[in-house]
Amino acid sequence: MRSAAAPRWRGASGRLEVWYATLSDPLTRAGLWVHCETVAPAATGVAPYAHGWATWFPSDGPPRTERFGPEPTQPAAGPTWFETPEARVGPEELSGQAGSLGWDLSWKDSGAPLWTFPRVAWERELLPGAQVVLAPSADFTGTMSVGDDTHRLDGWRGGIAHIYGHGNAKRWGWIHADLGNGDVAEVVTAVSRRPGLRRLAPMAFVRFRIDGTDWPASPLPSLRMRTTLGLQHWQLEGRIGSRDVLIRVDQPPDKCVSLGYTDPDGATAVCTNTEQADIHIEISRRQRGSRVVERTWSLHGIGHAEVGLRDAPEGSGAPALNERTPS
């Protein structure tokens, strides 16, 4: 896990580094999203800052988001990956306070990181941005406070991921799905903001861990997977190797939160996120002119999903919450 977890930002301008955790209670379908971010603006003379947010998704009722920071920051030193006066992320630790939300959690995952993007692209920074899931099948325990109420989080499941690069994509979709029995799916499908690439269709990076084996074996993008993005309903469909794959996502508007992102170059985007998505996955093969379904999973209210857009249509998804910027 060391190379996947080690902080990458060493002071360069025009960089973005993120650690985030998404987790769910499989019994009540409550969820939690904690996002911790370091931004080093590209503009000369603008100091880097750290900030983030937490969103509580109750089993009944609308999600609730609170932000922390921004705070001036320096490259990480010591064992903690991310630290501000209000939040910490480190080995088997996730704690913080954002407004009326507080969390004090520990996590464990005996499995290896799941490389959504090619590992070499991560280690050599070959792409505008890349993500790796440090703990794809993490077990969480601890407490979550929401105002005056304290919730015990035992047996919650989810993942912790790490992002590093120059900023967010032009538009993107993301999925983390705990499929049970140690199986997991992670998807990032995105359109780059780079000239010459921004007009292309979304490029899908699809990774499964099934029965302890990562599939597909190649970490390269799944070029035969077609993405159709929408704020409430979206999907990926196509072929990976010799298999047909369908991934369908439903993000109920009343279970979503929309947040404003600011890139190091000052560009903005809006992401619409939920930890209570419905996700359906099928893997099938063709045999003698027929389609044979080999594996299928359906998650109801415990899928983790997000859609990010540069120009979100008005009135779609949840209302956007503007990002606080450093003064």
HEC string of 16-56 equals EEEEEEEEECCCCCCEEEEEEEEEECCCCCCCCEEEEEEEE
Number of domains in the chain: 1
Q: What is the DSSP string of 285-311?
A: EEETTEEEEEEEEEEEEEEEEEEEESS
For residue 218, count CB atoms less than 10 angstroms from its CB and return exposed for 0-12, middle for 13-18, buried for 19 or more: exposed
Strands 82-83 and 129-146: what pairing?
Answer: unpaired
Mapping DSSP to helix (H, G, I), strand (E, B) and coil, where does residue 193 land?
A: coil
State residue 78's pLDDT score: 86
Q: Is residue 40 part of a domain?
A: yes
Is 256 part of a structural domain of the chain?
A: yes
Asked if the model's pLDDT at residue 324 lies above 80, the reply is no
Q: Which helix (H) or strand (E) holds 71?
A: strand 64-72
Determine the Cα angle at 89 with ends 87 and 94, to 5°: 80
Yes or no: say if 26 and 155 are a contact pair by the CB < 8 Å rule: yes
Q: What is the pLDDT of residue 323?
A: 47
The percent of the chain in helix, strand and coil, each rounded to the nearest 5, is: 5, 60, 35
pLDDT at 218: 85
| Res. 252: pLDDT tops 90 | yes
Phi, psi of 124 (to 5 degrees): -105, 5
Residue 50 domain flag: yes
Dihedral sign (CA 161, 212, 139, 282): positive
Element at 179 (helix H, strand E): strand 171-180
- Residue 1 pLDDT level (bands cut at 50, 70, 90): low
Average pLDDT over residues 262-277: 96
Instruction: Give CA separation, 89 vs 52, 76, 160, 307, 310, in Å.
Output: 12, 11, 10, 24, 28
Q: Provide the pLDDT for residue 289.
A: 82
Asked if the model's pLDDT at residue 200 lies above 90, the reply is no
- Name 97's Cβ contacts closer than 8 Å, sequence gap at least 6: 68, 86, 87, 103
Q: Which pLDDT belongs to residue 224?
A: 95
In a domain, residue 327? The reply is: no
Q: Please, what's the b/e burial string for 103-115 (b: 16 or more CB within 10 A of its CB; e: otherwise)?
A: bbbebebeeebbb
Give the per-residue pLDDT at 273.
98
**Residue range 47-101, pLDDT digits in tens:** 999 999 999 999 999 999 999 999 999 999 889 999 999 999 999 999 999 999 9
pLDDT of residue 234: 97
Q: Which domain holds residue 113?
A: 2-319
pLDDT at 199 over 90: no
Position 326 pLDDT exceeds 70: no
Question: Looking at the domain assignment, is residue 324 inside a domain?
Answer: no
- Mean per-residue pLDDT of the chain: 92
Position 320 pLDDT exceeds 70: no
* Res. 26: pLDDT tops 70: yes
> Token match 């999925």: residue?
175
Residue with tokens 């580094």: 17
- Domain membership flag for residue 325: no
**How large is the C-alpha radius of gyration of the chain?**
19
The tokens describing 109, both together, are: 């995952």
Q: Given CA atoms 150, 79, 167, 21 in this order, what sign does their dihedral have? A: negative
CB 96 within 8 A of CB 88: yes
Q: Residues 6 or more apart from 43 whose CB is under 8 A from it?
A: 13, 266
Considering the domain boundaries, does residue 298 fall inside one? yes
In this prediction, residue 196 has a pLDDT band, given cuts at 50, 70 and 90, of low
